[in-house]
């Protein structure tokens, strides 16, 4: 039994060490598409403030207009592939505040976001016969009939398909104008009636140009015009410097925790430190798998959750002390200590988790980043302590009576003898 426990414990240590070694490269990859994505404060990007312009007909801009504009701008941001975009509405001043992390071409992003993007189809006389809201999708792609050229493939809604079919049938052999914000995009001649609801805008020279128009078309038109009130670049160098300082502070904090646990609890402290390594791996891999964007407040939430994980271990060890002092064997004390500590710890963690989820639901931007990492850390700490820490302690307790006496000694009586020191 003892030999089996030793083999299991050594295997577990080697497995964790191998996991740590294999995790370094993917988790620290600076490429946001391969590593853990970084937010605006760490990666750099652009901060925008868009001002809603008064309507030409004199009607006031309503909160509903601002909500619709926010939804459309958020969709355009997502189509740009920006990680952790922040889109906030200032209803009083009729403004939209937008933070975009890792944007390499801010001017292009601004141009796409603020464009009204009102799409219309017009007959040969210039009359609007079809609106862009009857378009269900628009995607950029290669022109199958012209190598080196690109197209935007249009897909109409049910009503749009009927109207476009009637339009192309009525004006067979004539030109139909396709306009974006009253600017002529294409003026194709109708060769055959298009009844399928599928059409193309062709002769784009670059895929980027086709993709830009496709984003604008499928996201819909803004209910109000927008102008740039503020555009500020956030330097990546400042973010990287903040990241390095945060990582350094986290490393120093972990070293202090490791030393504290070892000095106060000896062998169980080593077990707790080992569990913290596993806990950190679990959290970081969750960030990596679910593309959780890491910000400075997010790092703070992660470090705070590490402290809570340590608290969990301390509460467990103190409970084990109480059980052994009450006359139970060390093995029974470990089992009973975990069971009794679980009730106390679960209450504290659940209340903190509720607070974190409240912040995530009602907060914005960096507040949500802090709440998300804290919530993930709480769940991971519970899982690690209940499963991994308990498993390792069981293995250690089962290895050797001498090891149990010197490494897991408790302030009380055990087998009729006074234990030598604290846990």
Q: Are residues 210 and 339 in the same domain?
A: no
pLDDT of residue 236: 63
303 CB-near residues (< 8 Å, 6+ apart): 249, 250, 253
Q: Are residues 68 and 28 in the same domain?
A: no
Q: Are residues 105 and 121 in the same domain?
A: no
Can you tell me the mean pLDDT for 259-283? 88
d(Cα 38, Cα 407) in Å, to the nearest integer?
A: 42
Give the confidence band of 422 by pLDDT, cuts at 50, 70, 90. very low
| Domain termination site, one of 221, 248, 265 | 221
Instruction: Please state the length of the chain.
Output: 423
Higher pLDDT, residue 275 or 410: 275
d(Cα 338, Cα 51) in Å, to the nearest integer?
A: 57
Q: Are residues 209 and 240 in the same domain?
A: no
Enclosing H/E stretch for 255: helix 236-289
The residue among 155, 173, 156, 163 whose CA lies nearest residue 129 is: 163
Q: Is a pLDDT exceeding 90 seen at residue 326? A: no
- Tally of domains within the chain: 3
DSSP 385: I
d(Cα 49, Cα 99) in Å, to the nearest integer?
A: 9
**What are residue 226's DSSP bridge partners?**
52
Token duo for residue 225: 């015009």
Token duo for residue 294: 């890491």
395 CB-near residues (< 8 Å, 6+ apart): 5, 8, 9, 12
Give the confidence band of 144 by pLDDT, cuts at 50, 70, 90. confident
Q: Are residues 92 and 140 in the same domain?
A: no
Can you tell me the mean pLDDT for 84-99? 87
Is-contact 242 298, C-beta < 8 A? no
Percent of the chain with pLDDT over 70: 91
31 CB-near residues (< 8 Å, 6+ apart): none
Q: Are residues 316 and 371 in the same domain?
A: yes
Q: Please, what is the Cα angle at 138 between 198 and 216, to 5 degrees?
A: 145
Q: Please, what is the Cα angle at 253 between 247 and 255, to 5 degrees?
A: 105
d(Cα 221, Cα 63) in Å, to the nearest integer?
A: 17
Enclosing H/E stretch for 101: strand 95-101
Higher pLDDT, residue 160 or 415: 160
Among 3-12, 84-93, 136-145, 394-403, which is the least confidently predicted range?
394-403
pLDDT of residue 380: 92
Q: Are residues 317 and 376 in the same domain?
A: yes
DSSP output for 291-359: TPPB-HHHHHHHHHHHHHHHHHHHHHHHHHHHHHHTT--HHHHHHHHHHHHHHHHHHHHHHHHHHHHHH
The residue among 227, 236, 234, 155 whose CA lies nearest residue 196 is: 155
Domain interval for residue 141: 117-221
For residue 343, what is the domain's CATH number? Answer: 1.20.1640.10
pLDDT of residue 410: 46
pLDDT of residue 178: 85
Q: Are residues 77 and 105 in the same domain?
A: yes
Q: Are residues 250 and 396 in the same domain?
A: yes
**Average pLDDT of the chain to the nearest whole number:** 82
Maximum mean pLDDT: which of 62-66, 79-83, 129-133, 305-309: 62-66
The torsion defined by the Cα of 220, 224, 228 and 234, in degrees rounded to 10, comes to -50
Can you tell me the mean pLDDT for 383-405? 76
Q: Are residues 99 and 248 in the same domain?
A: no
Can you tell me the mean pLDDT for 5-25? 90
Among 229-243, 250-264, 398-412, which is the least confidently predicted range?
398-412
The torsion defined by the Cα of 63, 65, 71 and 76, in degrees rounded to 10, comes to -140
Q: What are phi and psi of 49, to 5 degrees?
A: -125, 115
Give the confidence band of 262 by pLDDT, cuts at 50, 70, 90. confident
Token duo for residue 282: 């679990």
Among 118-122, 191-195, 360-364, which is the least confidently predicted range?
360-364
Percent of the chain with pLDDT over 90: 17
Q: Is a pLDDT exceeding 80 seen at residue 135? A: yes
Enclosing H/E stretch for 381: helix 366-383
């Amino acid at each position: 039994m003892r030999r089996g426990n030793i083999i299991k414990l050594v295997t577990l240590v080697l497995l964790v060490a191998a996991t740590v070694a294999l995790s370094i490269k993917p988790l620290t990859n600076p490429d946001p598409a391969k590593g853990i994505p970084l937010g605006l404060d760490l990666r750099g990007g652009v901060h925008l403030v868009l001002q809603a312009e008064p309507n030409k007909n004199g009607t006031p801009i309503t909160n509903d207009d601002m909500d619709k504009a926010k939804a459309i701008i958020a969709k355009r941001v997502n189509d740009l592939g920006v990680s952790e975009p922040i889109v906030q509405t200032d209803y009083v001043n009729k403004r939209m505040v937008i933070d975009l992390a890792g944007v390499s071409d801010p001017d292009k992003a601004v141009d796409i976001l603020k464009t009204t993007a009102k799409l219309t189809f017009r007959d040969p006389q210039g009359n609007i016969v079809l609106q862009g809201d009857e378009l269900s999708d628009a995607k950029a792609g290669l022109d199958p009939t012209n190598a080196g050229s690109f197209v935007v493939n249009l897909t109409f809604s049910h009503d749009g398909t009927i109207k476009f079919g009637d339009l192309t049938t009525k004006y067979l052999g004539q030109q139909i104008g396709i306009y974006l914000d009253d600017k002529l995009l294409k003026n194709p001649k109708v060769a055959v009636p298009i009844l399928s609801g599928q059409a193309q805008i062709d002769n784009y020279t670059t895929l980027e140009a086709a993709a830009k128009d496709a984003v604008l078309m499928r996201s819909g038109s803004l209910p109000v015009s927008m102008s740039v009130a503020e555009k500020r670049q956030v330097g990546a160098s400042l973010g990287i410097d903040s990241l390095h300082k945060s990582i350094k502070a986290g490393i120093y904090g972990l070293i202090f925790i490791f030393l504290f646990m070892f000095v106060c609890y000896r062998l169980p402290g080593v077990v707790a430190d080992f569990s913290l390594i596993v806990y950190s791996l679990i959290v970081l891999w969750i960030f990596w798998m679910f593309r959780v964007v890491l910000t400075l407040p997010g790092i703070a939430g992660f470090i705070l959750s590490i402290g809570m994980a340590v608290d969990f271990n301390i509460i467990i060890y103190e409970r084990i002390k109480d059980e052994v002092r009450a006359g139970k064997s060390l093995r029974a004390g470990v089992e009973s200590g975990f069971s009794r500590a679980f009730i106390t710890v679960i209450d504290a963690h659940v209340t903190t988790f509720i607070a974190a989820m409240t912040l995530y639901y009602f907060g914005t931007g960096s507040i949500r980043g802090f709440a998300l990492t804290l919530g993930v850390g709480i769940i991971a700490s519970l899982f690690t302590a209940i499963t991994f820490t308990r498993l390792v302690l069981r293995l250690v307790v089962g290895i050797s009576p001498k090891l149990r006496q010197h490494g897991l000694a408790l302030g009380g009586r055990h087998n009729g003898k006074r234990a030598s020191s604290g846990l």
